[in-house]
Structure 1
Amino acid sequence: MSAAPPPSLDLGGIAVTWLADIPSMDFAPDDLLVPEGDDRGPGADLDLTFGGYLITTGTGTVLVDTGVGDGKARSRPGWNRRSDGALPAALERTGRALADVGTVFLTHLHADHVGWNTSWGGDAWVPTFPEATYLALADELDWGRGEYARDHGFMYGSYADSVVPLIERGRLEAAEDGSRLGDRIEVRAVPGHTPGSAAVIVRGSRETAVLSGDLIHHPHQFAHPMTCSRFCVDRAASAKARHTLLDWTARHGAVLMPAHFGWGRVEAANGRFRFQPLPR
């Protein structure tokens, strides 16, 4: 029996499909979140997922983030030298090949968002998506370049094996806040988690979706939007950006599509938020 197609949401003339790389992985709360204010933390382990979102229109295909990847040496055991082929297999189940991806947009350069940028080509890391233009915000590229110059092991070594090979081949380009990846796909800067973090707004004829990257990691943060990830470079800016984008999502009735848990609706409630999951 063939595997089921990946979960997809039709926005009206444009679809967003979740391509899972790691469908489920537990994190201890203290390993991920830094409680703020009256937040005592979620208490139980956090169940996260890792992968990317495939946006398809009548004229193009955009992949937002590329998961953890295979064959990469990582100090985190669940990420180390994987051989699952999961994200490319999910793409194949949509009826598309690696060469069908026209654009790869990276919301930021953390290891779990750039892993399938490259694959082992026998003697070197090479671009996984042979026809794609790879993009990230200019501020993110500047930050990554500076951090790598100071530490070649930056981001678990992911910059060296998943970003540098693209730069060396001239395959990674800078985008700006407000850039469009198509008529109905817009990039928005949401700095804080990293200096060049981005979200992607996708507008269909029926629905609007907000691909929020790592602006929010876990549903616990809806009730506690000041609580940040331990990986946020600027926690104050991250909290501000999270509150602003969640408020925008709620006011516009958009579907929030986070990087690490399922999609749903957002409601504003006295400076905090409620999340209503939708089937995925």
Structure 2
Amino acid sequence: MSAVPPPSLDLGGIAVTWLADIPSMEFAPDDLLVPGGADQGPGGALDLTFGGYLISGDAGTVLVDAGVGDGKARSRPGWNRRSDGALPIALERTGLTLADVDTVHLTHLHADHVGWNTVWDGDAWIPTFPEAKYLALGDELDWGRVEYARDPGFMYGSYADSVLPLSERGRLEAVGDGFRIGDRIEVRAVPGHTPGSSAVIVRGRQETAVLSGDLIHHPHQFAHPLTCSRFCVDRAASAEARRGLLDWTARYGAILMPAHFGWGRVVAADGRFRFQPIVR
């Protein structure tokens, strides 16, 4: 792996850094996206990235989402029992250690967002970030508990190995819509992809960033905002939340930082959107 520091954007007094766990993975369009309304599906393979965003500022060090993780039994090829150590290595290249992370916020509980919550210590799954408090919206945690009780293999088994161990140790806290981490980081509810999905707004002195989680998976969805992920629990709500957040991002000139592709600006026109990537 390259020793180059991970890409970072200074918003003015607060920085957001991308920590890649899986830099690139191809998906067939039909395996990921479902066109809605008059929308058309994309052609060709979709290239996605997986990881988390590190926010550094007055509120300490906050990690938003935790990638796929290592050592986890997963049925999806490329996710199963990985041993890359990629996200912690990316963190180390920022000059920080696992113990320097103060807060981990989970935009939702899907397997590719909770993987580095825990690591295997030889006897049990323990928190990867020993000093961090872990957060998610209360609606998301309620949904996860119900689904796990119904199906112990829920979310490729990721609830059992990456969420439940935190709950059992009292390390996973429920927060509400509008919760703030310090003065500049705000959690917003954007239900639809999952019942308790959230986005994170980061306000710097010069720029505002919107960490959108899985509200949008691929640039195709800018021109086709009714197109949803196959993993959306409520597609109508997901499409409504996506259009609302993209409209807000465009109106306030914020920088969109999606979970599965690079960041950029959003331009709104006639109910659809155009993405202007920023090189990272």
Between the aligned partners of 2:189 and 2:59, the Cα distance in structure 1 is: 25
Are 2:104 and 1:104 equivalent residues in the alignment? yes
Determine the structure 2 residue equivalent to 1:37: 37
1:244 aligns to what?
Answer: 244
Would you say how many aligned residue pairs link Structure 1 and Structure 2? 280
**Mapped partners of 1:227, 1:153: distance in 2:** 28
After superposition, what is the alpha-carbon deviation per residue over 1:22-56, rounded to whole angstroms, capped at 9, x for unaligned?
00000000000001122231111000000000000
The question of whether the paired residues in 1 share the 8 Å contact of 2:21 and 2:87 is answered with yes
For 2:78, what is the secondary structure of its paired residue?
helix
The answer as to 2:196 corresponding to 1:171 is no
Paired position in structure 1 for 2:5? 5
Give the letter for the 2:264 counterpart: G
CA contact (8 A) 2:40 2:224 kept: no
In structure 2, the residue matched to 1:49 is 49
The aligned runs of 1:136-215 (5 Å cut-off) are: 136-215=136-215
2:276 aligned residue: 276
Aligned counterparts of 1:182 and 1:209: Cα–Cα separation in 2: 15
Partner Cα distance (2:93, 2:41) in 1: 38
C-alpha displacement at 1:2, in angstroms? 6.4
Q: Please tell me the residue identity of whatever aligns with 2:209.
A: A
Letter in 1 for 2:215: L
- How far apart, CA to CA, are the structure 2 residues paired with 1:150 and 1:257? 34
Structure 1 residue 269, shift from structure 2 partner: 1.1
CA distance in structure 1 between the partners assigned to 2:235 and 2:161 by the alignment: 27
5+ long unaligned stretches in structure 1: none
* Distance in 2 between residues matched to 1:29 and 1:176, nearest whole Å: 34
Indicate if the aligned counterparts of 2:59 and 2:181 stay in contact, CA closer than 8 A: no
Q: In the aligned structure 1, how far is the partner of 2:26 from the partner of 2:2?
A: 28
Q: Give the SS at the match of 1:196.
A: coil
1:220 Cα shift?
0.1
2:265 equivalent in structure 1: 265
Q: CA RMSD in A?
A: 0.9
The equivalent residue for 2:16 is 16
Q: Distance in 2 between matches of 1:36 and 1:170?
A: 40
- Taking structure 1 as reference, are residues 197 and 2 closer, same or farther at Cα in structure 2, changes over 3 Å only? closer
Read off the aligned partner of 2:141 and give its amino acid letter.
L
Structure 2 counterpart of 1:116, one-letter code? W
Q: What is the TM-score when the length of structure 1 is the normalising length? A: 0.99
Identity %: 85
**Map of 1:67 onto structure 2:** 67
Letter aligned with residue 177 of structure 2: D
Preserved contact between residue 59 and residue 183 of structure 2 (Cα < 8 Å)? no
Q: Any residues of structure 2 matched to 1:215-226 within 5 Å, and which?
A: 215-226=215-226
Tell me, in whole angstroms, the C-alpha distance in 2 between the residues paired with 1:216 and 1:132.
Answer: 27
Indicate the larger mover: 56-65 or 257-266.
56-65
Q: Report the TM-score when normalising by structure 2.
A: 0.99
1:163 partner SS = helix
